[in-house]
Structure 1
Amino acid sequence: MKYYLPLISVAAVALLSACNKNDEPEVVGGPADPMAEKLANAAPVELPPSVQASRQYRCKDNSLLFVDFMSDGKTVQVRTEKNGAATKLTAAEAGKPFEAEGYKVEGSDKQITATLPGKSALSCKA
């Protein structure tokens, strides 16, 4: 047993001495980032709001309106067809009417009043 311990240590040293025999120089600092200053001074990124609730409304004229209420409380997306293109409406602050491009939506949850381009205000229920 006495003879194996020195042989094992010699073998371990021989194996470790073979490590890191790289002929390429190691780059420590690397090239300077040309956008480092811009990135350091950039405004924080704000994620877009997620959908908090999606509702389907039946209006007085028997039309359907699909409204997605966003988590920020200041944005909704309105569609007149289930898979149609959505129109983004925003409010100045939470609790105010959502408006954009001739659209206006007031209320939330069970009942809304919606004004669409070229139409008068309609009362709609979920």
Structure 2
Amino acid sequence: MTTRFPLLLALGAALTLSACNDGGHTIVQQGPTDTMANEIANAAPVELPPSIAASKTYRCDGNKVVEIDWTEQGGKPAGANFRVGADTVESTVTTAPAEGTGPYTGADGAAVSGTKDASSVQVTVPGESAITCRA
């Protein structure tokens, strides 16, 4: 009985290999023509979005919690995206000032004063007064 098992195993392997389709394969050296080659070659360079340099959670006046993602692009501050409250999903996006000084500002009037290395920042939510937050 011990000699039947290797024989059955070899027979199964032979059946498996015989099921392979080894008919008519064509290999093309160059492949199909790329119809977008000129557009890709002449396209403007792609600029990556800012990367997150630091993510910090702050405790603010009025017992509020603010989470700030500090972003950088090319080694320079690019913005501060913040969420007020633990249940907030959408971030308020602010961008760094062009001259490098002053608060990060958003299109809706939001603002963040401070840096990723500061122990405290000021956050202004549209329609509310500024609150001081500590890391």
TM bin (shorter chain)? 0.5 to 0.7
Alignment of 1:11-30 (within 5 A): 26-30=27-31
Which residue among 107, 116, 125 is the counterpart of 2:125? Answer: 116
SS of the aligned residue for 1:42 comes to coil
Shift of 1:31: 3.3
Q: Distance in 1 between matches of 2:66 and 2:122?
A: 11
**Computing the radius of gyration over CA atoms, which structure comes out larger, 1 or 2?**
1
> 1:63 is matched with which residue?
64
Whether 1:104 and 2:104 are equivalent positions in the alignment is no
Question: 2:50 touches 2:78 (CA, 8 Å); kept in 1?
Answer: no
Identify if the C-alpha distance between structure 1 residues 92 and 32 changes in structure 2 by more than 3 Å, giving closer, same or farther: farther
Question: 2:109 touches 2:126 (CA, 8 Å); kept in 1?
Answer: yes
Shift of 1:116: 0.3
Identity of aligned residues (%): 37
Deviation sequence 1:62-94 (CA, Å, 0-9, x none): 322111111331122101123522222112334
User: Structure 1: where are the runs of 5+ without partners?
Assistant: 1-21
Shift of 1:97: 1.9
SS of the aligned residue for 1:56 comes to strand
Give the partner amino acid of 1:78: F
SS of the aligned residue for 1:52 comes to strand
Q: Distance in 2 between matches of 1:24 and 1:105?
A: 63
TM-score by length of 2: 0.64
Q: How many residues align?
A: 105
User: Structure 2: where are the runs of 5+ without partners?
Assistant: 1-22
Question: 2:64 touches 2:85 (CA, 8 Å); kept in 1?
Answer: no
Shift of 1:99: 1.5
SS of the aligned residue for 1:37 comes to helix
